[in-house]
């Protein structure tokens, strides 16, 4: 067993190496069943979501042409925020994962898709698909653990700068798409290493610059100008829609790996990892959000973060369907399936950010500080 636990109670101590391999086989079987059944219904689903997004975006922008009229402002802003969320979450994130490549539609393909976001798709795909999904929750390898600006695990060393992390996190939530772009660009790292002059970095930075220019031009200049007398109110509306989208995505994404109950792993723990162990790491390193169908769509089905991490390239509409099978597997092997409603998971994640802004005393690490938030909804 290569997954090393530092917790007081090792959550996988009861599993033998064979158990873990069997878990892997069972998960492979679930995956194969979905792939064999993939077809028309799924294609119809993603096309419908894309069509809904486009219709919503277009009509919201049209309503915002009259945004000086307060009801129009409210309706248009809400519609635009929802459209942007759909674009980023259920469509963009999932298409860029290659979940829909099997349709062979060059328009809905991970190599051609672009999203309403300032991070260029290829840069995001590298840091997200290749790094985060591969090194899920491995401290020191998976930068999604705190995005390189926060300390979200007891095992990360504490520095005085972490005192400010609740504030960084709030700022990051508001401007999340820029945070992601900087993160995908490894901005901090490259600047620290003095690599900002390297041609490779400059080319990538230029690509980000181009995307920022186009987004800003669209949201803050062209559409407000088109609204004529509603210039300022449309500007405010677009800003608000972006803010809502950013805070929403940030919250959903924090719920994926930050809440209590999620395990992290040591760098050395993944050497020679078997397929079963890889699956196990994804199972223990992710957390779900419970809720309604609408909630799942608005989170891009990242409310099924566990299923997504097990099978990042299966069509998102299938996660909900296989979740009961996955959960039954957790139960059968006595593993904790971390899930809970959004407010609870967000609170849990925020509490961790705040708690770890302070150095942890050795005792802190062993017991949850906020017992009310400690257990998952799985119980």
Partner 1 sequence: MTTTVPRSPAKVSFRDRLRRLAETVTTPLLPEDYLDLVAPLRAGAALRGRIVAVRPETPDAATVVIQPGRGWRGHVPGQYVRLGVDVDGVRQWRAYSVTSVPGGRDGRLAITVKAIPDGKVSNHLVRRARAGTIVQLDQAQGDFVLPEATPERVLLLTAGSGITPVMAMLRAGLHTRADVVLVHSAPTPDDVIFGAELRALAERGALRLVERHTDTDGLLGVHELDDLVPDHLDRETWACGPVGMLDAVEGYWASRGLADRLHTERFRPTVISPGEGGTVTFTGSAVTVEADGATPILEAGENAGVLMPSGCRMGICFGCVLPLRQGAVRDLRNGDLTTAVPGDGVLIQTCVSAAAGTCDIEL
CA distance 72 to 69: 5
CA distance 306 to 220: 37
* DSSP summary character for residue 273: -
Which residues between 164 and 183 bind partner 1 (CB under 8 A)? none
Is residue 223 at the binding interface for partner 1, with CB under 8 A as the rule? Answer: yes
Nearer to partner 1, 117 or 151 (CB): 117
Nearer to partner 1, 108 or 306 (CB): 108
* Assigned token pair, 56: 């919503």
CA distance 55 to 45: 15
Nearer to partner 1, 42 or 90 (CB): 42
CB of 304 to partner 1, least distance (A): 21
Is residue 48 at the binding interface for partner 1, with CB under 8 A as the rule? Answer: no
Q: Is the dihedral of CA 205, 209, 215, 220 positive or negative?
A: positive
Is residue 97 at the binding interface for partner 1, with CB under 8 A as the rule? Answer: no
Nearer to partner 1, 55 or 268 (CB): 55
Coil, helix or strand at residue 150: coil
Looking at 47-55, 167-175, 189-197, 244-252, which segment touches partner 1 (CB under 8 A)?
Answer: 47-55
Taking CA 47 as the corner, what is the angle to CA 115 and CA 51, rounded to the nearest 5 degrees? 70
Nearer to partner 1, 21 or 313 (CB): 313
Is residue 271 at the binding interface for partner 1, with CB under 8 A as the rule? Answer: no
CB of 55 to partner 1, least distance (A): 7
Is residue 112 at the binding interface for partner 1, with CB under 8 A as the rule? Answer: yes
* Assigned token pair, 196: 């900002």
| Selected binder of partner 1 within 13, 70, 104, 157 (CB under 8 A) | 104
Could you tell me if 109 and 101 are in contact, meaning their C-beta atoms sit under 8 angstroms apart?
yes
DSSP β-bridge partners for residue 64: none
CA distance 378 to 338: 6
Binding site for partner 1 (CB under 8 A): 38-44, 51, 54-55, 58, 98, 101-107, 109, 111-112, 114-116, 211, 214-215, 217-218, 222-223, 226
């Amino acid at each position: 067993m290569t997954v090393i636990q530092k917790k007081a109670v090792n959550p996988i101590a009861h599993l033998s190496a064979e158990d873990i391999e069997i878990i892997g086989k069972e998960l492979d079987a679930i995956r194969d069943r979905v792939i064999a059944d993939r077809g028309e219904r799924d294609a119809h689903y993603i096309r419908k979501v894309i069509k809904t997004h486009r219709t919503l975006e277009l009509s919201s922008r049209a309503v915002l042409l009259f945004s000086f009229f307060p009801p129009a402002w409210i309706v248009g802003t809400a519609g635009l925020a929802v459209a942007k969320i759909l674009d980023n979450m259920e469509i963009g994130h999932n298409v860029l994962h290659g979940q829909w490549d099997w349709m062979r539609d060059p328009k809905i393909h991970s190599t051609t898709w672009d999203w309403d976001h300032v991070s260029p798709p290829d840069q995001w795909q590298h840091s997200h698909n290749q790094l985060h999904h591969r090194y899920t929750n491995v401290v020191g390898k998976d930068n999604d653990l705190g995005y390189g600006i926060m300390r979200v695990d007891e095992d990360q060393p504490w520095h005085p700068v972490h005192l400010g992390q609740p504030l960084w996190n709030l700022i990051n939530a508001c401007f999340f798409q820029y945070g992601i772009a900087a993160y995908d660009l490894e901005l901090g790292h490259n600047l620290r290493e003095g690599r900002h002059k390297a041609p490779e970095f400059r080319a990538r930075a230029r690509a980000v610059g181009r995307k920022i220019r186009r987004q800003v031009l669209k949201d803050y200049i062209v559409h407000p100008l088109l609204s004529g007398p509603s210039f300022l109110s449309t500007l405010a509306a677009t800003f608000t829609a972006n803010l809502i989208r950013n805070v929403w995505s940030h919250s959903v994404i924090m719920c994926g790996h930050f809440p209590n109950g999620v395990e992290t792993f040591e760098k050395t723990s993944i050497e020679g990892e078997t397929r079963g162990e890889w699956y196990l790491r994804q199972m223990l390193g992710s957390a779900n959000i419970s809720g309604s169908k609408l909630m799942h769509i608005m989170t891009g089905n990242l409310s099924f973060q566990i299923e997504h991490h097990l099978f990042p390239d299966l069509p998102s509409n299938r996660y909900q369907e296989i979740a009961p099978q996955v959960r039954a597997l957790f139960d059968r092997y006595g593993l904790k399936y971390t899930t809970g409603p959004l407010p609870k998971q967000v609170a849990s994640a925020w509490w961790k950010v705040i708690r770890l802004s302070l150095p942890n005393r050795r005792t802190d690490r062993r017991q949850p500080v906020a017992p009310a938030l400690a257990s998952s909804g799985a119980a």
